[in-house]
């Protein structure tokens, strides 16, 4: 009996540690890949190992990083949110519109500040609304998230395009743009924002009952429901969270582009899935960590910066991103075979 309890306990703690850490052993490989890439580029690309590269790296990463975080939360529950780019764009458009119409050159610093604050609140409220609506549609109709979010993506994009006639809105106030480009001890503010959001998401997903419930839903939603977890509420929460992360992505987008449009960053949609899967997030749900995602993003961005400085086309970069994903997936498939050749490491079998 004691044995049984012991077994059960160790089994449970192993499960919890797996839920918390994602796929075991995945990060080491990614870390190695990242180091190899950085070393390789430093050797072959002149001026790659410089402060300038690091800074441009930190300016470029946040948008894709935040969007990938927004994609990762639903992926963890076995879902998908195809509407993240649309949500981000609409939120950015709304904020740009408010700032542009309510701030005149004559307005004082005080009014400008108030209007910016108002715009931020409106953008946040919009994301909250979209997230709640998406989450409720998914949780209460039981339709596959791909379909629901395909619909909401179309709808949100449609509204944005209809209202703006496809034009970009510029005219972000000077104060806002300056904050976007500001640095804290040499680190761009947008990068700090990414780090903060990533930390919060990481803590929420790994250390709160809500986060554990998300991973459990991704593994087996029926079993989770029978464990007295209100899966519908958790699902609504996940899509709301995804949408709220989009708000921060919208902030970064406004700050870096100084304008907003319905068709910015559309090509990032599939790249975010690619980054998440590369970072070890199981596309069927259940497993994945923010740390792995960040490593994957760093790899993608290093490849992109390196090839850019090498003078290669952006298209080739995307092709190589796709190739890397296939390569990593192959390595994951091959791992059991390779593990048979290597001496056992004592990790849990996967």
Report the candidate in 47, 53, 179, 65 with the shortest Cα–Cα distance to residue 113: 179
Residues 132-151 that bind other proteins (CB under 8 A): 137, 141-144, 146-148, 150-151
Q: Is 333 in the site for other proteins (CB under 8 A)?
A: yes
Q: Least distance from C-beta 266 to other proteins, angstroms?
A: 8
Burial of residue 348 (number of CB atoms within 10 Å: 0-12, 13-18, 19+) = exposed
Q: Pick between residue 10 and residue 314 the one whose CB is nearest to other proteins.
A: 314
Please, where are the H alpha helices in 182-262? 189-207, 209-219, 221-226, 231-257
Report the candidate in 148, 102, 91 with the shortest Cα–Cα distance to residue 125: 91
Query: Do residues 302 and 57 make contact, with C-beta atoms less than 8 angstroms apart?
Result: yes
Of 108, 315, 341, 344, the one binding other proteins by CB under 8 A:
315
Q: Pick between residue 116 and residue 300 the one whose CB is nearest to other proteins.
A: 300
Of 122, 155, 168, 195, the one binding other proteins by CB under 8 A:
155
Q: Least distance from C-beta 318 to other proteins, angstroms?
A: 4
Q: Least distance from C-beta 267 to other proteins, angstroms?
A: 9
DSSP structure string for 263-302: TTTTTHHHHHHHHHHHTT--TTSS---HHHHHHHHHHHHH
Q: Pick between residue 189 and residue 236 the one whose CB is nearest to other proteins.
A: 236
With residue 170 as reference, give the H or E element that holds it: strand 169-170
Q: Is 284 in the site for other proteins (CB under 8 A)?
A: yes
Q: Least distance from C-beta 87 to other proteins, angstroms?
A: 13
Q: In this structure, what are the phi and psi dihedrals at residue 259, rounded to the nearest 5 degrees?
A: -155, 175
The residues binding other proteins (CB under 8 A) are: 82, 137, 141-144, 146-148, 150-159, 161-162, 165-166, 266, 270-271, 273-274, 277, 283-284, 313, 315-319, 321-323, 325-326, 329-330, 333
């Amino acid at each position: 009996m004691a044995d049984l309890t012991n077994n059960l306990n160790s089994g449970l703690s192993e499960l919890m540690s797996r839920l918390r850490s994602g796929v075991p052993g995945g990060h080491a490989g990614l870390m190695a890949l990242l180091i190899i890439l950085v070393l390789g580029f430093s050797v072959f690309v002149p001026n790659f190992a410089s402060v300038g590269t690091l800074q441009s790296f930190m300016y470029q990463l946040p948008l894709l990083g935040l969007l990938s975080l927004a994609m990762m939360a639903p992926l963890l529950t076995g879902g998908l949110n195809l509407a993240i780019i649309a949500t981000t764009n609409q939120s950015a458009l709304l904020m740009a519109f408010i700032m542009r119409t309510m701030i005149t050159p004559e307005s004082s610093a005080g009014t400008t500040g108030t209007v910016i604050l108002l715009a931020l609140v409106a953008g946040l409220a919009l994301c909250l609304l979209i997230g709640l609506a998406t989450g409720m549609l998914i949780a209460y109709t039981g339709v596959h998230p791909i379909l629901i979010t395909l619909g909401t993506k179309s709808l949100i994009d449609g509204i944005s395009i209809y209202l703006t006639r496809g034009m970009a809105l510029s005219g972000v106030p000077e104060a806002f743009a300056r904050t976007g480009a500001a640095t804290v001890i040499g680190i761009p503010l947008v990068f700090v924002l990414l780090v903060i959001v990533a930390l919060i998401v990481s803590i929420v997903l790994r250390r709160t009952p809500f986060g554990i419930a998300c991973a459990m839903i991704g593994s087996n939603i029926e079993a989770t429901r029978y464990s007295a977890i209100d899966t519908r509420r958790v699902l609504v929460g996940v899509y709301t969270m995804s949408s709220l992360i989009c708000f921060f992505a919208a902030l970064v987008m406004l700050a870096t582009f100084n304008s907003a449009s319905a068709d910015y960053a559309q090509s990032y949609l599939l790249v975010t899935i690619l980054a998440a899967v590369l970072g070890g997030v199981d596309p069927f749900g259940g497993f994945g960590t923010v740390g792995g995602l960040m490593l994957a993003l760093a790899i993608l961005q290093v490849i992109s910066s390196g090839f850019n400085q090498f003078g290669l086309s952006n298209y080739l970069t995307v092709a190589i991103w796709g190739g890397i994903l296939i390569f990593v997936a192959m390595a994951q498939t091959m791992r059991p075979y390779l593990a048979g050749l290597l001496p056992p490491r004592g990790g849990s079998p996967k």
